[in-house]
Amino acid sequence: MTAGHTAIVTGANHGIGAATAEALAQRGCAVLCTFLRVQDPPDPGTPEAYRDGRAQDGASVVARIAAAGGRAMAVEADLSDPAAPAMLFDAAEGQLGPVDILVNNATGWLADTFAPLPTDRLGRSLRAVSAASWEQQFRVDAMGAALMISEYARRHRSRGADWGRIIGLTSGGDLGFPEEVSYGAAKAAQTNYTMSAALELAPFGVTANMVYPPVTDTGWVTDAVRAEVAARRELIHIASPAEVAEVIAYLASEEAALITGNVIVLR
């Protein structure tokens, strides 16, 4: 159970982040839902539902949590800003209590490539790897996540806490992430930071893990995606955000004390 704890969930305005915030709140956890509204340009390979989800604020998530009797607040923050972590932790501590659960879910997702292709295999627009694409991805998925962990660790140690949970989300693999090159590389960096946190913060009662979801329908799944999943034996399920959130919520629970330093692959 997570009753009596306080969590920050990043990217909590839609998809896995929103589902995780609700799952934690259902278990008695107070939740700060942080988000950044993103206006993605129209793309023939990306459904409007996905773009709409990225553009909304966190008010509807907080309203659903409150209607179910939970405690939550929403704060908009750009995790590419180094000042964001301190602001978010201050906000959570001021209204909800000391943060002992951190879920690094937010992403600066884009599709970029080294190959001169206009679209990826799913029909989504591609761009060439550039300083701009690298910065958009790494400032959120790598730097932002690392600074959130650092702020968490500093405050955890300063108050003498002895229990905590850090969970991140990843994708890609040992052979990179073709057609999502910077995304895969930034997630690899976040994984490395999180594994270091698992070892360095273990003496302070903190576990740290990464979750690698299966294809998850956060609004971007099209018929082309479904066909891709059906054609590849290693892609077994198309998950819902709520299914992934249940795994994250378990990792944030008291019962998951022995699970740390892992990349947990869901299929």
Quick check: 104 and 169 in contact, CB under 8 A?
A: yes
Backbone angles phi, psi at 221, to 5 degrees: -75, 125
Tens of pLDDT along the chain (267 residues) come to 677 999 999 999 999 999 999 999 999 999 999 999 987 778 777 778 777 778 889 999 999 999 999 999 999 999 999 999 999 999 999 999 999 999 999 998 888 999 978 888 777 888 899 999 999 999 999 999 999 999 999 999 999 999 999 999 999 888 899 888 999 999 999 999 999 999 999 999 999 999 999 989 888 888 888 888 888 888 888 889 999 999 999 999 999 999 999 999 999
pTM above 0.75, yes or no: yes
3-state secondary structure (DSSP) of residue 224: helix
Residue type (1 letter), 63 = A
Nearest CA to 261 out of 168, 189, 169, 197 is that of 197
The answer regarding whether domain 6-265 maps to CATH 3.40.50.720 reads: yes
Q: Is 193 a catalytic residue?
A: no
**Element (H or E) spanning 113, and its range?**
strand 112-113
Q: Which residues pair with 208 in a beta bridge?
A: 166
How far is it between the farthest Cα atoms of the chain?
Answer: 53
Which of 183, 193, 212, 250 is flagged as catalytic? 183
Instruction: Please compute, for residue 186, the number of CA atoms within 13 A of its CA located in the half-sphere on the CB side.
Output: 30
Domain boundaries, the chain: 6-265
b/e 101-132 (16+ beta carbons within 10 angstroms → b): bbbbbbbbbbbbbeeeeeebebebbbeebeee
